């Protein structure tokens, strides 16, 4: 799926630029970490929207796909519980796989990114560093890859 790849590529490039910021530039690194947090949160939302539309497109008529495309427009703030609930609305049989996929470090990463983004958006700087958001992004990537496989979305 081209949109997912381009989102991930752009985000990877942004992380690469962030890694080149001098470690003595504390305020700049903190600003960039907050920016990366917002981008990772958007990556989660947009990737799930894209996967949802692609999943429905492969299995339904154009009118159903159009309806779902409009319905997921406001799909945001996808903490683990909301993400799982959204996915289970397509196939409740996915529950055991999702419980394994979105657990432990991966669940914590997804929830932390969304919580931090919410705080940042409301003027709370949050305790986020480039290293921490990089770790969260790696775990989020595992979740998105697992969901892609589960939904049988082509890369």
DSSP symbols for 72-136:
GGG-----HHHHHHHHHTT-GGGHHHHHHHS-HHHHHHHHHHHHHHHHHHTT---S--HHHHHHH
**Cα gap 115→17, rounded to integer Å:** 24
Calculate mean pLDDT across residues 65-89.
Answer: 94
Tell me the pLDDT tens digit for each residue of 78-96.
Answer: 999 999 999 999 999 999 9
Its pTM stands at 0.92
Taking the CB of residue 50, how many other CB atoms lie within 10 A of it?
Answer: 18
Q: How confident is the model at residue 71 (pLDDT cuts 50, 70, 90)?
A: very high
Tell me the pLDDT tens digit for each residue of 99-129.
Answer: 999 999 999 999 999 999 999 999 887 789 9
What's the pLDDT score for residue 107?
A: 98
Please give the share of the chain, as a percent, with pLDDT higher than 70.
96
Give the DSSP letter of residue 12.
H
- The answer to whether 113 touches 37, Cβ cutoff 8 Å, is yes
Please check the confidence at residue 56 and state whether its pLDDT lies above 70.
yes
């Amino acid at each position: 799926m081209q949109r997912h790849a381009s989102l991930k590529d752009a985000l990877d490039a942004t992380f690469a630029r962030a890694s080149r910021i001098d470690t003595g530039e504390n305020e700049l690194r903190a600003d960039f970490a907050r920016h990366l947090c917002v981008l990772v949160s958007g990556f989660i939302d947009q990737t799930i929207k894209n996967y949802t539309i692609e999943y429905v497109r492969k299995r339904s008529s154009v009118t159903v796909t159009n309806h779902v495309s409009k319905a997921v427009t406001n799909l945001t703030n996808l903490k683990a519980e909301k993400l799982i609930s959204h996915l289970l609305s397509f196939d409740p049989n996915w529950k055991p796989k999702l419980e394994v996929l979105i657990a432990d470090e991966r669940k914590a990463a997804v929830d932390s990114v969304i919580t931090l983004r919410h705080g940042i958006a409301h003027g709370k700087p949050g305790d986020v560093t480039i290293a921490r958001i990089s770790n969260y992004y790696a775990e989020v990537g595992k979740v998105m890859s697992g969901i892609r496989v589960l939904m049988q979305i082509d890369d």
